[in-house]
Structure 1
Amino acid sequence: MIVRIMGEGQLELADSHFVELNRLDDELLEEMEAGDEYGFRRTLGALLDAVRRLGAPLPDDALEPSELILPSPDATLDEVREMLSDDGLIPG
Structure 2
Amino acid sequence: MIIRIMGEGQFEVPGSLFDELNIIDNRIVDLVGKENEADYRTELSRLINVIKSNGKQLDDASIVESNIIVPPEDLSLQEAKEIFTGSGLLED
Normalised TM-score (structure 2): 0.94
| C-alpha RMSD of the superposition | 0.9
* Moved >3 Å (runs of 4+): none
Which residues in structure 2 correspond to 1:26-65 (within 5 Å)? 26-65=26-65
Q: Is the 8 A contact 2:6 2:72 kept in 1?
A: yes
Instruction: Find the counterpart in structure 2 of residue 18 from structure 1.
Output: 18
Q: How far apart are the structure 1 equivalents of 2:79 and 2:61?
A: 27
SS in 1 for 2:11: strand
* Deviation per residue, 1:2-60 (Å, 9 max, x gap): 00000010000111001110110111111001000001000000000000011100001
User: Alignment identity in percent?
Assistant: 35
Q: Which runs of 5+ in 1 are unaligned?
A: none
The answer for the alignment partner of 1:73 in structure 2 is: 73
| Distance across 1 between alignment mates of 2:84 and 2:63 | 24
Quick one: distance in 1 between partners of 2:66 and 2:8? 13
Task: Look up the SS of the partner of 1:40 in the other structure.
Answer: helix
Number of paired residues? 92
Residue 78 of structure 1: SS of its match in structure 2? Answer: helix
How many angstroms does 1:85 deviate by? 4.2
Match of 1:8 in 2: 8
